Amino acid sequence: MASRLFAFAASLALLSLLIPSAYGKPASFKVMPGSNNIFFSVDIKYEGEITAVSLMQTDSPYASGHGWQPLKHNFGTVWNYDPKDPTLPPFSIQITDNQGKKLVAKDVIPPNWKIGAVYNGNLA
C-alpha cells in the first residue's frame, strides 16, 4: 500500500512539472530609483529570456496611456518607460519571451507603488 501511494505521489510530482500551471509563471518587478509619474523604470526577474516589455495603465485619462506601451531595454533586466503624459497606476506588465509568447502580470504595480519596492506577480 505504501509503495502504491509513493508511486502515485511521484507521478503527480512529475505531471506538475510537465503541465503548465493555470496560475502562470512567477515574476518579480522592482521599481527602480528615479521612477515617478513621468518616468518609470522596472527591474524584472523572470525565469526565461525577455525580448520585449510593454506596460498598460488601467485608468489613464490620456489617449497616449491607452493600450500596451513599449518599454525600452536599459541594461541587464531593467526596462524603462518614458511616456508623453503623466502615468496613472495601477500598471499591468506584458513580457514577450524568446519564443514570441506574450505573458501578462495584470495590475502588478499598484497605485501606491514605492521606489525600491518589489511586487510579485504571475505572468499568464
State the residue range of the domain holding 63: 23-123
Residues 25-70 pLDDT 10s: 999 999 999 999 999 999 999 999 999 999 999 877 777 778 999 9
Q: How many domains does the chain have?
A: 1
Q: 104, 123 in Cβ contact below 8 A?
A: yes
CA-closest candidate to residue 42, choices 29, 55, 53: 29
CATH classification at residue 53? 2.60.40.760
Residue 8 is assigned to a structural domain of this protein: no
Q: Would you say residue 13 lies in a domain?
A: no
pTM for the structure as a whole:
0.79
